[in-house]
A and B are shown apart, each in its own frame.
Chain A
Amino acid sequence: MGASDWIRWVALAREGDKDAFHRLYSATRPRLFNAVAHLVEPGLAGEIVQRAFVRAWERLSDLAEDASFASWLRRIAVNLIHDHWRRERHLVEVPDDDSTQAIVDPGPDPLALWESNCEASTLRRAIGELPPPFREAVVLHYLDDLPVEEVARILDVPRGTILSRLSRGRARLRLSLAPVSEVNP
């Protein structure tokens, strides 16, 4: 789907064309679901994705650049997730630096013990245990394959903050996965 297609489908959807919106849905839903499913409980991901599309449909006229629909939609979904976390009293704020200073990303494990043995479910569980700010940075950058600048735009924080959260997220993941790698050399 080229930029001109996005522009065309968004323009048609804005006029109320549900077929055009269906095309946008089909093109963006799988990746959006993958990101959302790693940020909230699996049972809730589908509902948040649907609500994100409903909100997008209602506010299509607010979209400044028609070609950036996917990014805009992701921002809507992230806002819905933040609302959910606030309702559920999750800790949305970044953990205190003092307590995480000790967790410095040591870089690649020289032995790469878990490189091939780390099961997807284990890695998903470890991601799910990350504090929300680290989790969303890791998910959007690595799993959703978005550049750091795009993640910063979506989360509305400076680029340096994203880099820091990614580094600290990786450090926590290494700690969390270490026992597994020791068990499964």
Chain B
Amino acid sequence: MNTPSDPLESALRSLPPLTGVDDWPDLRDRLSRRRSIRSRLRLAAPTFRWVGACLAVLFAFGFWQALQGRRSVVASESGAELRTWVAAHQDAYASESMIDPWADPIEESSP
């Protein structure tokens, strides 16, 4: 129905093109203002890696410190308990050498 000799098609194909103006300077400015998020991320990737590594080290150090602190608390509490026990034992032994300071609690707890 529509052969290549169709005058409408010929007229459409031979319509002089609208070319507009080449505005590369404007486009270049726009490109400079808007770098892609991906390329920005790609450029910032080494920085992100460094920051991530530093945070990981800090976290590990903090965790280790907390663990050490907990251990020292437990140790100091254990030490205090031991010293209290030794002092009580020594006091009891000094007042009456035959009394075992643990005898009463054992008797109370026994059925």
Asked if B39 and A30 make an inter-chain contact with CB atoms under 8 angstroms apart, the answer reads no
Chain B contacts for A145, CB-based, 8 A: 13
Asked if B10 and A115 make an inter-chain contact with CB atoms under 8 angstroms apart, the answer reads yes
- Nearest-neighbor residue (CB-CB) of A106 within chain B: B1
Asked if B30 and A50 make an inter-chain contact with CB atoms under 8 angstroms apart, the answer reads yes
* Known A37-B18, A38-B18: A173·B38 in contact at CB below 8 Å: no
Complex: how many Å from CA A26 to CA B20?
A: 12
B16 on the interface (CB 8 Å rule)? yes
Chain A contacts for B38, CB-based, 8 A: 61
Instruction: State which of B21-29, B52-60, B69-77, B99-107 sits at the interface with chain A.
Output: B21-29
Report the count of interface residues on B (CB-CB < 8 A): 33
Contact with B along A23-65 (1 / 0, CB 8 A): 0011001110110011000100110011001100111110000
- Nearest-neighbor residue (CB-CB) of B26 within chain A: A50
* Known A105-B2, A109-B7, A170-B2: A54·B12 in contact at CB below 8 Å: no
Which of A31, A33, A37, A108 is the one whose CB lies under 8 Å from B8? A108
* Known A108-B3, A170-B9: A49·B20 in contact at CB below 8 Å: yes
Q: How many A-B residue pairs have CB under 8 A?
A: 98
Asked if B15 and A173 make an inter-chain contact with CB atoms under 8 angstroms apart, the answer reads no
Asked if A37 and B22 make an inter-chain contact with CB atoms under 8 angstroms apart, the answer reads no
Complex: how many Å from CA A120 to CA B17?
A: 10
Contact with B along A118-139 (1 / 0, CB 8 A): 1010011001000000000010
* Known A46-B21, A57-B36, A142-B12: A108·B31 in contact at CB below 8 Å: no
Residue of B1, B11, B28, B34 contacting most chain A CB atoms (<10 Å) = B11
Within 8 A of B (CB), among A43-96: 45-46, 49-50, 53-54, 57-61
Which of B1, B17, B22 is the one whose CB lies under 8 Å from A105? B1
B97 on the interface (CB 8 Å rule)? no
Distance (whole angstroms) from the CB of B58 to the closest CB of chain A: 34
Asked if A123 and B11 make an inter-chain contact with CB atoms under 8 angstroms apart, the answer reads yes
A18 on the interface (CB 8 Å rule)? yes
Chain A contacts for B5, CB-based, 8 A: 108
A107 on the interface (CB 8 Å rule)? yes
Beyond A30-B19, A109-B7, A145-B13, 6 extra complex contacts between A and B, CB < 8 Å: A30-B17, A37-B18, A57-B31, A58-B34, A115-B10, A143-B12
List 5 contacting pairs A-B, 8 Å CB cutoff, sorted by A.
A22-B28, A57-B36, A107-B1, A143-B13, A174-B8
Which residues on A are within 8 Å of B, measured CB to CB? Answer: 16, 18, 21-22, 25-26, 29-31, 33-34, 37-38, 42, 45-46, 49-50, 53-54, 57-61, 105, 107-109, 112, 114-115, 118, 120, 123-124, 127, 138, 142-143, 145, 167, 170, 173-174, 177
| 3 nearest A-B pairs in the assembled complex, by CB-CB distance | A115-B7, A142-B12, A33-B20
